[in-house]
Each structure stands twice: as structure tokens, then as C-alpha cells.
Structure 1
Amino acid sequence: MRDHALMGVTTAARTAVQLGTLLILARTLGPTDFGFISIVITWSTIVALVTDYGFGMRALRDIGAERERAGAIMSASLAAKTLLVLPACVLLLPVILFVLDLSMAERVASVLFLLGTLASSYGDLALTVFRSIGQFQRETRIVVVTALIHFVLIGLAIVLRNDVVAIGLAFLVSRLIYAAGALRALAKIVHLAGIVRNSWQVLAERFKSSTSFAVDSGATNIFAQLDVILVNHLAGREAAGIYFAGSRLLQGAVPFSVLLASVHIPRFAYRLHNQSRELVRYGARILGEYVAMGLIFALAFYFIGPLFTDYFLGASYAELNTLWLAFACFTFARFVAAGLGVQLMAMGTGFLRTFGIIFSGVITVACYWIFIPGHGIQAAPWVSTLGMAVLTLIYGYAVQNIYRRQRNA
């Protein structure tokens, strides 16, 4: 329970500050300018996910099973990530600065948000080791302090300038502080001097071993980002801003799903590695915790969402009130799917997860194209719920078959 509590504090601090700053931006910038911010953050997040290449989840599983190799695993993961980040920056920065149809202020802000998101992803990867070895208090301390710094810097940017460039600069500085703090803490417990001396063979093995996790994590999170991109493309920037304000509030529940995964994946992997007889019971416990948390969040969004729209965002976001029931259903379905997906990930069955994610994602994207032009943003969360229900059925079937084979073995 202590691990759960510490991860809860970490997640709450991270989520509250990130959500708080974004929602304050929604209030102060208005739907159109906030729509621009939403698209920039969404694309930057996708780039960060691609460069993560599943290294974090793979490291979480590997270190959980073999804690004595934590230093070697983390140094190889950070080096491999850098091999993806550098070419991504070389390719994308000129495109943003000279190709895209944006104003100069929007170009600069886009670069700042992209670099800040990439810096933040380094911090997230570095903190993986603390969850894997059970030192949750160190991660909690770093996240709480840097989250407060993030909130202060964004708040100052809003008060002093309230434009996209100032906000982007504050975002970059705060994320660099977060990444530096995480890497500094990591260097105190594992030897990282070998990052630049990893052999190509070691890096190739890290890429190979992380590929299934990369496809899994990438497909899961990239499909989760596509709703904002498609709403912007099919309904316009203002509609994207309204939709993003609600969907971003929903994203506040996602870190709590990651919290449970961070606690359970190493423990499940350990039981699986040692062929524990309690594996099925532990899997049922994982699913039960996800179902309970999903129900809590779903009810919260349904009842509190309209109050949030009316009393915080204001009249310009009134259309958001038509979406809260669908958002609640989507949240519950997402947690149920995650409770099954975590077990598949800990079992190393990347193909089954990947198939489910891609199949349900294709259905979701196709339905976005069919229904959003005629029904507007009201269709988007219901389509997302349909896709998540399909994913849950696939995951449930896969988990049931795996446990049945283990019992018969």
C-alpha cells in the first residue's frame, strides 16, 4: 500500500499541475488559440512517443525481473532513445520553421513545445528505474518539486505575456529542469557513464527487445492522440480547442492507469518468471483495481464535467456539455481494457496487444471520418468508446486463452 500511496502522490502532483496549466490556458486563450496549442501538444506527444520506442516499459519489465542489471539497462535505453531523438529534431525543426503554414509566433512556439516535450520524455524514462526497484519516494520528490516549478513558470508566462511564444518558452524551461532533475537522481543510484560507450551490438539488442513494446505503446498512445488531430482537420481549430479541453481533462485519469501498471508489471513479471501459483489470482486483482478506478473516474466526469464547463471554462465552451456522458463511458471502457492489457504486456505477448490496438484503432479512425463531418464533435467520444469496447473484447479473449493454456500445461 505504501508503494500505491507514493505513486498516487506522484501521479496526482504531475496530473494536477499539467492539467491545471492546460485548463487555465483554455480559459485565458479561448477556443481558437487553445486549439492551436492542442494541436502542437498532440503532434509533439506523438514525436516523443515514437522516440520512446517502448524503452520505458521494456526497462520496467526487465529491471523488475533482474534488478542487478538496472544500470546497464537504463544506460542502453537512454543511448538508444537519443539515436532516435537527434534525427527527429534534424528532420522536424526545418519543417516547422520553414515549411508549415504558420505565423512566425506559431512557428517559434511549435519548436519550443516540441523540444520541451522531448526533454520531458527523457525525464519520464529516467524515472522508470525508481518504480522498477521499488524506490517510489525518490520519484515522488522529483515530480512534486518540478511540477510546482512548471506551474509557477507557466503562470508567470500567462500573467506577464499570455501569448503562445512566452508560454512555449516557460514550458521548455520547466521540462528541461524536470529532465535534469530526473537524470541527476538516476546517476546517484546507477552507473550511467557508459551511455556514450554502449556498443552498437548492445544498442541493437535494446532496439530489438523493445520493438514489441514500441509497437504496443506507440499504437496505443498514437491512436489516443488522433481524435484531436482529426477533429481539427474535419471540424476546425475552434472545435478542436473545445474538444481538447474536455479530452485533456480525461487524460488526467490516464496517469493513474500508468500508476497501477508501474506497480503491477514488475510484480506480475516476477511471479511469471518464478512460475508462481498465484499468477491467475494476481491477474484478477489487477483487473479488479482497474475496473474500480475506471468506475470512479467515469462517475466523476459525468457529474462534475458540466460544472467544470459552466463555472471554469465559460460560455465559449458550452458545447462541451453535450460530451460528458460519452467521455464517462469511454473512460470506464479504457480502464477495463488497460486492466487486461497490463497483464498481456507483463506476459510479453506483444503481438496480441498490438493486433488488438491496431484493429480497434483502424475501426475508430474510419468511424471518425464517417461520423464527425455530419455530427460534429458529439460523435468523437462515442466513436472512441466503440473502439475501446472492441479492444476490451480482444484483450479479454487473449488473456482467457493464455491462462487456459497455462492451466493445461
Structure 2
Amino acid sequence: MRDHVLMGITTGARTAAALGTLLILAKTLGPSDFGFVSVVITWSTIVALVTDYGFGMRALRDIGAERGRAGEIMSASLAAKTLMVVPACLVLVPLTLFWFDLQPHERIAALLFLIGTLANSYGDLALVVFRSIGQFHRETRIVVATALLHFALIGLAIYLQNDLIAIGIAFLVSRLIYAAFAVGALSRLLELGGILRQSWRALGERFKVSASFALDSGATNIFAQLDVILVNHIAGREAAGIYYAGSRLLQGAVPFTVLLASVHIPRYAHRLHNNASGLLRYGIRILGEFMLLGIVFSIGFYVFGPLYTDHFLGSAYEQLNALWLGFACFTAARFLTAALGVQLMAFGAGYLRTLGIVVSGVVTLTCYWIFIPSHGIQAVPWVATFGMVVLGSIYGLALTRIFRNRAAGSISPVDAHRDARATRSLKEPQV
């Protein structure tokens, strides 16, 4: 329970700072400029997700199973991530400065948000180790302090000079401080001197073992970001700003699925590593926790969403009031699906998760193209809910099959090979 409380404080602080600042930006910038910010942050987040390559989730699982190798795993993960970030910046910086159709001040702001988002991803990766080894209090202290600083700097930029460049500078500075604190705390706990001395073989091995997590995490999160991009492309920047003001509030619930996953994946992996009994019972517990939290958030969005639109954002965002019921249904479906996905991840069935994400993502994107032109942004949350139901159905069928085969003791040759490979990934040393 203590771990849950500490992770709750951490998640709440991180969410309140990020969400609070963006909602203030929605209020002060207006739908059009906020639409620009929403698209830039969305694209930057996709770049950060690609360069993460599943290193964080893989490290969370590996360190949870073999805590003695935490320093080795984190050194290789940080080095491998840097190997992704450098070429990404070498490509994106010139494109942003000279190619994309942006105003001069928008080019500068876009770069500031991009580099700040990448710095933030380094901090998130560094803090994974504290969850993996059960030292949640260390992460809590860092996140709470830097979240307060983030909120203060963004607020100061808005107060002194409410323009995109000033806000971008504040965002970049706060994220650099967060990354420095996180990596510094990690270096005091573990020996990270090997980051710059990683062999190509070791880096290749880290990429190899993280590949399934990269596909899973990338597909999950990238598909989740494409709604804003498509709304901007089909309906325009102002519509994207209005939609993002509501969907970003919805994203405040997402870190709580990460919170529960961060607590349960290492424990589930440890049980599998030691062939412990009661996996089904523990899976039901995970399902219950996710469902309870999802229902609470769904009711909150449906009840308080219109109040947030009318009394905080104002009449410029009035279209949001038609979206809150759809947002509430999407949230409930998302938490239920996440509970099933966490269990598949712990079983090492990343290929099933990836399959489900790709299938549901293709269905969702196809429906976006069909329904946004005819129904506007009102269609987006309902299409997203349908896509999440498709994904949850695939996850549920896969888990049912896994537990049925375990109970019967009869696993097909294909499943036996996959289970053996998943077991080796937990038991064999990996660099």
C-alpha cells in the first residue's frame, strides 16, 4: 500500500504540473495558438516515444526480476537511447528551421518544445530504476520538486510575456532541470560510468531485447497521439486546439494506468520468475484496481467536464460540451483494456499486445478518416472508444487462452516456444 501511495503522489504531482500548465495555456493563448502548441507537443511526444524504443518498460521488467543488474541495465538503456536521440535531432532540427511551413517565431518555439520533450524522456527513463527496486520515495521527491518548478516557470513566462517563445524557453529549462535531477539521483544510487563505454555488441543486445517492448509501447502511444494530428489535418488548427483542451484533461488519467502498471509488472514478473502460484488471483486483483480507478475518472469527466468548459475555458471552447460523455466512455474502456494489457506484458506475450494494438489502431484511424469530415470533433471520442473496445476484446481472448492452457497443462508447440522464450528473457543474463 505504501508503494501505491508514493506512486500516487508522484503521478499526481507530475500530472498536475503538466496538465495545469497546458490548461492555463489553453485559456490564455486561445484555440488557434493553443492548437499550434498541441500539434507541436504531440509530434515531439511521438519523437520521444520512438527514441525510448521500449527501454523503460524493458528495464522495469528486467530489474524487477534481477535487481543486482540494475546498474548494468540502466547504463546500457541510457546509452542506447542516446544513440536514437542524436540522429533524430540531426534530422528534425534542420527540417524545423528550414522546411516545415511555420512562421519564424513558431520554428523557434517548436524546437524548444521538441528538445524539452526529449530531455523529459531522459528523466522518465532514469527514474524507472527506483520503481523497479521498490525505492518509490526517491522518485517522489524528485518529481514533486521539479513539478512545482515546472508550474512556476511556465506561470512566470505567461505572466511576464505571454508568447510562444517565452513559454517554450520556460518549458525547456524546467525539463532540463528535471532530467538533470533524475540522472543525478540515479548516478548516486548505481554505477553508471559504463554509459560512455558501452560496446556495440552490448548496445545491439539492448536493442534486441527491447524490440518487442518498442513495438508494444510505440504502437500503443503513437496511435494514441494521432487523433490530435488528424483533427488538425482534417478540421484545422482551431478545432485541434479545442479538442486538445478536452483530450489533454483526459490524459491526466493516463499516468494512473502507468502507476498501477509500474507497481504490478515487476511483482508479476517476479512471481513468474519464481514459478509462484496464484497468478490468476493476482490478475483478478489487477483487473479490479484498474476498473475501480477507471470508473472514478469516467464519472469525474462526465460530471465536471462541462463545468471546466464553461467556467474555466470560456465560450471559445463551447464545442467541448458535446464530447464529455464520449470522453467518459473512452476512459472506462481504456482502464479495462490496460488491466488486461499489463498481464499480457508480464507473461511476455508482447507479440499479442502488438497485434491487438495494430489491429485496433488501423480500425480507429480508418474510422477517423470516415467520420471526422462528416461529424467533426464530436466523432473523435466515440471512434476512440470503439477502437479501445476492439483492443480490449483481443487482449481478453489472449489472456483467456493463456490461463486455460496453463490450467490444462496443454500448450501448443508454438505457445511452448513463445513461453520458453519469454522465460529465458527473465532468467538468462542480458547486457
Q: CA deviation at 1:78?
A: 0.2
Aligned to 2:184: 184
Find out whether 1:202 has 2:202 as its counterpart: yes
Find out whether 1:237 has 2:237 as its counterpart: yes
Counterpart-to-counterpart distance in 2, 1:387 and 1:279: 28
Q: CA deviation at 1:406?
A: 1.2
Counterpart-to-counterpart distance in 2, 1:47 and 1:243: 21
Counterpart-to-counterpart distance in 2, 1:278 and 1:177: 43
Q: Which amino acid aligns with 1:121?
A: S
Find out whether 1:157 has 2:164 as its counterpart: no
Aligned to 1:374: 374
Aligned to 1:302: 302
Secondary structure in 1 aligned to 2:102? coil
Aligned to 1:222: 222
Counterpart-to-counterpart distance in 2, 1:406 and 1:109: 53
Q: CA deviation at 1:336?
A: 0.3
Q: Deviations over 1:277-302 (max 9, x none)?
A: 11111111001111111111000000
Structure 1 segment 124-135 matched on structure 2, within 5 A? 124-135=124-135
Structure 1 segment 104-183 matched on structure 2, within 5 A? 104-183=104-183
Structure 1 segment 52-67 matched on structure 2, within 5 A? 52-67=52-67
Q: CA deviation at 1:275?
A: 1.1
Secondary structure in 2 aligned to 1:159? helix
Find out whether 1:280 has 2:291 as its counterpart: no
Find out whether 1:404 has 2:404 as its counterpart: yes
Q: Which amino acid aligns with 1:247?
A: S
Q: Deviations over 1:103-135 (max 9, x none)?
A: 010000000000000000000000000000000
Counterpart-to-counterpart distance in 1, 2:107 and 2:345: 38
Q: CA deviation at 1:362?
A: 0.2
Counterpart-to-counterpart distance in 1, 2:217 and 2:252: 18
Q: Which amino acid aligns with 1:154?
A: I
Q: Which amino acid aligns with 2:198?
A: N
Aligned to 2:413: none
Find out whether 1:349 has 2:349 as its counterpart: yes
Aligned to 2:257: 257
Counterpart-to-counterpart distance in 2, 1:53 and 1:209: 10
Q: CA deviation at 1:185?
A: 0.3
Aligned to 1:333: 333
Counterpart-to-counterpart distance in 2, 1:47 and 1:296: 32
Q: Which amino acid aligns with 1:253?
A: A
Aligned to 1:292: 292
Aligned to 2:17: 17
Q: Which amino acid aligns with 1:12?
A: G
Q: Which amino acid aligns with 1:408?
A: A
Aligned to 2:418: none
Counterpart-to-counterpart distance in 2, 1:136 and 1:163: 37
Q: Which amino acid aligns with 1:280?
A: L
Q: CA deviation at 1:319?
A: 0.4
Q: CA deviation at 1:399?
A: 0.7
Counterpart-to-counterpart distance in 1, 2:407 and 2:210: 28
Q: CA deviation at 1:250?
A: 0.4
Aligned to 1:315: 315
Q: Which amino acid aligns with 2:341?
A: G
Counterpart-to-counterpart distance in 1, 2:347 and 2:116: 33
Counterpart-to-counterpart distance in 2, 1:326 and 1:332: 10
Q: Deviations over 1:225-246 (max 9, x none)?
A: 0000000001000000000000
Counterpart-to-counterpart distance in 2, 1:146 and 1:350: 33
Counterpart-to-counterpart distance in 2, 1:222 and 1:100: 21
Aligned to 1:86: 86
Secondary structure in 1 aligned to 2:191? coil
Q: Which amino acid aligns with 2:253?
A: A
Q: Which amino acid aligns with 2:237?
A: R
Counterpart-to-counterpart distance in 2, 1:161 and 1:105: 14
Q: Deviations over 1:39-89 (max 9, x none)?
A: 000000000000000000000000000000000000000000000000000
274-283 or 222-231: bigger deviation: 274-283
Counterpart-to-counterpart distance in 1, 2:209 and 2:14: 29
Aligned to 2:2: 2
278-287 or 358-367: bigger deviation: 278-287
Unpaired segments ≥5 residues, structure 1: none
Aligned residue pairs, count = 409
Q: CA deviation at 1:4?
A: 0.1
Counterpart-to-counterpart distance in 1, 2:323 and 2:30: 19
TM-score (norm 1): 1.00
398-407 or 85-94: bigger deviation: 398-407
Secondary structure in 2 aligned to 1:134? coil
TM-score (norm 2): 0.95
Secondary structure in 1 aligned to 2:147? helix
Q: Deviations over 1:285-325 (max 9, x none)?
A: 00111111111100000000000000000000000000000
State the percentage of identical aligned residues.
Answer: 72
27-36 or 197-206: bigger deviation: 197-206
Q: CA deviation at 1:405?
A: 1.2
Counterpart-to-counterpart distance in 2, 1:283 and 1:401: 14
Q: Deviations over 1:198-237 (max 9, x none)?
A: 1111111100000000000000000000000000001000
Counterpart-to-counterpart distance in 2, 1:84 and 1:139: 25
Q: Which amino acid aligns with 1:205?
A: E
Q: CA deviation at 1:347?
A: 1.1
Q: Which amino acid aligns with 2:148?
A: L
Structure 1 runs (4+) deviating above 2 angstroms are none
Q: CA deviation at 1:346?
A: 1.1
